Structures are given as C-alpha cells and as structure tokens.
Structure 1
Amino acid sequence: MTLGEHFREFRRRIVIAAIAIALGGAVGWFVYGRVMRWLQQPLLAVAAERHVSVDEVALNFGANGVTDAFGIKLKIALWIGLILASPVWLWQIWRFLAPGLTKREKRIGRGFIAAAVPLFALGCYVSTFALPNAVKFLLGITPAGAVNYTNAEAYVSFTTKFILAFGIAFLLPVFLVGLNTVHVFPGRIMLKGWRVAVMVIFVFAAMMSPSPDAWSMLALALPMVALYFAAVGISLFMDHRRAVRDRPAWADVPDDERSAL
C-alpha cells in the first residue's frame, strides 16, 4: 500500500472499532444501574468493616454541577462498551497489521488474536479481586473521626481505569508475540531482558494493588510473569521454525563437499 492507502485503512479500522464500542455502550447504558451498584461494593464493604454509616462513604454525584450524574452514566456506558467490543477492536488491530504478513504468519496470528479476547477478559476479572483491597487501603488513610465524601466522578474514573489497566496488561504476551511475528522483537531479546521485564511487572502489580499484604501483589504479578515467559517460549519456537525454513538447502553440507560441488 501507499502511505495514503495506509492512512485510509487505519481510518476504516478506527471507524469500525468506534461503531462497535458505541453499540456496546448502548447496552451499557441500560445496565448502568447494576454495574454502578457493583462498583460501589468496595465502599460498602469498607463501611461495614469500620462499623460506620454508609453515608460516610457514599458517592457525591453533585460535586461539580447538575450534569455530573449524566456524565458519569455516559462514562460507565462507554467503559462497558469498550469491554464488550474488545473482540472487534482487537480484531481490527490485527487486520491492520495482517496485510504485511505472509500466509503462514497470518495463520499463526489468528490463534494469538483468538487468545487476546479471553486474556483481556481474564485481566478484567482478576482486577475485581484487587479492587476492594485498593479501595480499602486508600480509604483507610482517612484520619479517625473524619468523613470521606467520595467524589463520584473521581471514583468512577479510578475504578474503570483500574480494571482496564489489568485487562490491557494481560494482553502483554499477545503484543509480544505479535511483534515477534512481524520480525520486530526476536525471542532471544525477550529472554535476555527477562530480569527487567519481571521487575517492571512486579512494580506494576504493586502500584495497581496498593494493599498492605504481599499476597495481593503476588496474585497479580505471578500470572503476568507466567504469561511473559509463555510469550518468550512461543517467540523462540517461532524464531527457530523461521530459521529452519529459511536456511539454504546446502547449509548442512560439509565445507569440503560444498567446495567440490
């Protein structure tokens, strides 16, 4: 493709992904009430543990104006749409990259994209175990005798970004293998930098799960480390297959016989 054709293709993929997210957002608009009650469960758990009134941890929807409630509902709806439409926008990312690949690489890539959706869903699911600990820790800093009237918009932004961060983090092996498939990131480079990768993963897990116990951090970090090494193993295998496939037919012939030929 020419540069202009690449931009037009990119725009087309963006439009398709945006339409899918909008349709998912329409579903999210109707289930907003149930999702909002679920997001407030960590706050209610803190109130029960502290033996305080629910009003002391209630969300304040009118902190900045009368439009806050509508804006929060719209934000939740689009967040739900982003999650529901994940198969579509992940596929669009793949289709944008696919024209530059060989038939063999396309077949391999489809399997990885098929794994991306459940991995994204798994990351979002795992985040639900860390979210209550994060909310409990952050609200626990409130001094005794003080009341924490939580701003609804700030709380919704925190919880939605928290969950999406875990979903995207679990896509790490898919993107690593994808970069390897297009010959950008060899497996030996991933293996060589495993110490740095593990350190970054643990720092990320510590930041996303600010709980006083180490078990919450380990519960998040260990699956990500396992996924990283799985991506390394797959990339090394693919590099070996490519090396064998691209090796000349006379590569195994001894030097003296090759000279005679």
Structure 2
Amino acid sequence: MVAVRRRSGGGRRTTEAPGPADLSVLDHLSELRDRIIKSAAAVTVGAVVCWFLYPWIFDVLVDPYCSLQGAAVDDCRLLQTEPLEAFSIRLKIAGYGGVALAMPVLLWQVWRFVVPGLHANEKRWAYPFVGSALVLFVLGATLAFHTLTPALEFLTEVGGEGLQQQFRPAPYFELITYMMLAFGVGFEFPIVLVFLQLAGVITASSLRSARRYAVVGIVVVVAVITPSGDPYTLGILSIPMYLFYEISILIGTLLTRRSDER
C-alpha cells in the first residue's frame, strides 16, 4: 500500500511509505501474525538445540543438588517415580531453553512491531531499554542459580534430621525455573521505574519520599514471587531491588533534566 499525498503549494504529488495511521486493522493483524510466526520459529530452533544439549544442561542444573549431597555430578541422581517423567523433563528443559535462546529474537520482534507507533523521542530509548532488559534478566537468572545451593541447604535442614532428602526431577526443575524467572523479573524493576519517570507517570521526588514504603513493598513482593520462601533468598533479591530503586531515581533525574533542557 502506498499513501499518496498532495503538496499544499501546487498540483505535484509525492509518494511516501505508509505510516502507522495509513495501515488498516488487517495490515496490523497481518504484521502481528508474521512477528508471532518468526518468534515461534526462533523458539522451535532453540528448543531443538536444547533437546540435543539436554545432557549438558541437565548436569549444569543438577549441580546445586549435587553440591548439597557432597557428590560429583556423575555420582548423584534424582529420583524418578513415573515412567513418563524423564520424557516430560526433557521436553520442559528443551522448551524453556528454547525460549531463553530465542529471547533476543523475541525482543527484536516486539520492538519491530511497536516502533512504528512511537514518536521520534521515544524511539531513541528503545535500544537502551531492550538491551538493558535482556542483560538485567540474564544477571537475575544467573544470581538465582548461584543462590539455589544455600536455599536448598535451608530447605533440607529446616525439617530436621528425621527426613531423608532425595528430590524428584519435576519439582526440582520447577523450583530452579521459578527461581530464575522470579530473579529475572525482579531485576527488571529499574527499567520499569525509569520508563515511568520518562513517561511522566511518576517523578524522582515522589520516589524519594516513598523510600520507607518501597522497602516494605519490595520485601513483600520478593516474598510472594520467590518459590522457596527462605530468608536467604529473600535477602539476596531484596537488597539488589532496593539498590535498583535508588539507581532508578538517579537515572530518572538525569534523563528528565536532560529532556527538560532540550
């Protein structure tokens, strides 16, 4: 589709590429379909790769449990109690791994779908926001993985010595997945706060005055989103989130000041 517009000064006509306002609802739906297909294809390719890398991924994920048992990865085992559990675990690891590998493609497709509707001053923040979101999510997930061993120590010791610890693969991998997801989402906290400040929804001064409430709110949110619920994990995630809160105030103040000067 080509939009034809008349110049105000004469009869000559110029042709321009269609903008968001020139596209119909069907055009937007068609573009959304294409973005979803490309995203699904990227996740599928990533899942196939992770399917063949399953033995290596399994050894990496089971390492915290092996450290808890004081054994090498080759010598410790998870307890399988159902015949289809092994196949289900491999499918889940391949699926989650495919999403993780395809995350840059997914963020790029979201960016390409949203960018036509943004103003020029909003577009220039897209790359920093998308890149920062990806980096922070990876950092959060990595921190969660390294936090898992002390969290497991607390969870296994809190029940006393009368319990023999041997984990089943499904609950164990669900705990790892939810922990990494919770930390990854928690590390997106500064991105949200900076965006809200740039959008004018909140201000740096209002964030400063709400520090006391922010501390309580962060602790409550972390207690809700972390599946283990142990105090070690609570502190490990709450402290970075509060630091991010202070950093977002500083970044929002600087960016807003520069925007006002322009």
* TM norm. shorter chain > 0.5: yes
* 1:153 corresponding residue in structure 2: 170
Contact 2:218 2:242 in 1 (8 A): yes
Where does residue 75 of structure 1 map in the other structure?
Answer: 92
Deviations 1:129-173 (A, max 9, x none): 211122222222444343344221121111112112211221222
Task: Return 5+ residue gaps in structure 1 as ranges.
Answer: 246-261
Residue 39 of structure 1: which of 40, 61, 77 is its match?
A: 61
Residue pair 1:179, 1:185 contacting (<8 A) in 2 also: yes
For 1:21, which of 43, 48, 56 is the aligned residue? Answer: 43
Instruction: Give the paired residue count.
Output: 235
1:60 match: secondary structure: coil
Q: Out of 137, 154, 161, which is 1:144 matched to?
A: 161
Are the structure 2 counterparts of residues 201 and 212 from structure 1 closer, same or farther at C-alpha, using a change threshold of 3 Å?
closer
> Is this contact kept in 1: 2:145–2:176, CA < 8 A?
no
**CA RMSD between the two structures:** 2.9
Cα offset for 1:125?
A: 1.3
SS at match of 2:215: helix
Cα displacement (A) at 1:98: 2.6
Which 10-residue stretch deviates more, 88-97 or 151-160?
A: 88-97
> Structure 2 residue aligned with 1:201, among 195, 218, 233?
218
Residue 203 of structure 1: SS of its match in structure 2?
Answer: helix
- 1:21 and 1:84 in contact (8 A); partners too: yes
Check conservation: 2:197, 2:252, Cα contact below 8 A.
Answer: yes
Q: Structure 1: how far apart are the matches of 2:229 and 2:161? A: 20
Pick aligned residue for 2:124 from 107, 119, 122 = 107
**For 1:99 and 1:126, how far apart are their aligned partners in 2?**
35
Q: Could you say which residue in structure 1 is the equivalent of 2:78?
A: 59
One-letter amino acid of the structure 1 residue matched with residue 63 of structure 2: Q
Distance of 2:29 and 2:249 partners within structure 1: 32
Residues 115 and 20 of structure 1: CA distance in aligned 2, closer, same or farther (over 3 Å): same
- More relative contact order, 1 or 2 (CA 8 Å, 6+ apart): 1
Give the superposition deviation at 1:75: 0.6
1:84 to 101, 105, 119: 101
CA distance in 2 between partners of 1:126 and 1:9 (Å): 37
2:186 and 2:237 in contact (8 A); partners too: no
Structure 1 position 76, deviation (Å) = 0.7
Distance 1:187 1:96 in 2: 30
The letter of the residue matching 2:189 is L
Normalising by structure 1, we get a TM-score of 0.75
In the superposition, relative to structure 1, how do residues 30 and 7 fare at CA in structure 2: closer, same or farther (>3 Å)?
same
Q: Deviations over 1:197-256 (max 9, x none)?
A: 33232334456364455xx644432222222222233333333344444xxxxxxxxxxx
**Displacement of 1:186 after TM fit?**
4.5
Read off the aligned partner of 1:15 and give its amino acid letter.
I
User: % of aligned pairs identical?
Assistant: 33
Q: Determine helix, strand or coil for the equivalent of 1:59.
A: coil
Ranges in structure 2 where 5+ consecutive residues have no aligned partner: 1-19
| CA distance 1:9–1:185, shift in 2 (3 Å) | farther
CA spacing shift, 1:243–1:16, aligned 2, 3 Å: same
CA contact (8 A) 2:190 2:245 kept: yes
Distance 2:192 2:101 in 1: 20
Q: Is the 8 A contact 2:222 2:237 kept in 1?
A: yes
On the 8 A contact 1:101/1:182 being kept in 2, the answer is: no
Partner residue in 2 for 1:254: none
Structure 1 counterpart SS, 2:124: helix
* In structure 1, distance between residues paired with 2:244 and 2:164: 42
Q: Which amino acid aligns with 1:224?
A: M
More helix by share: 1
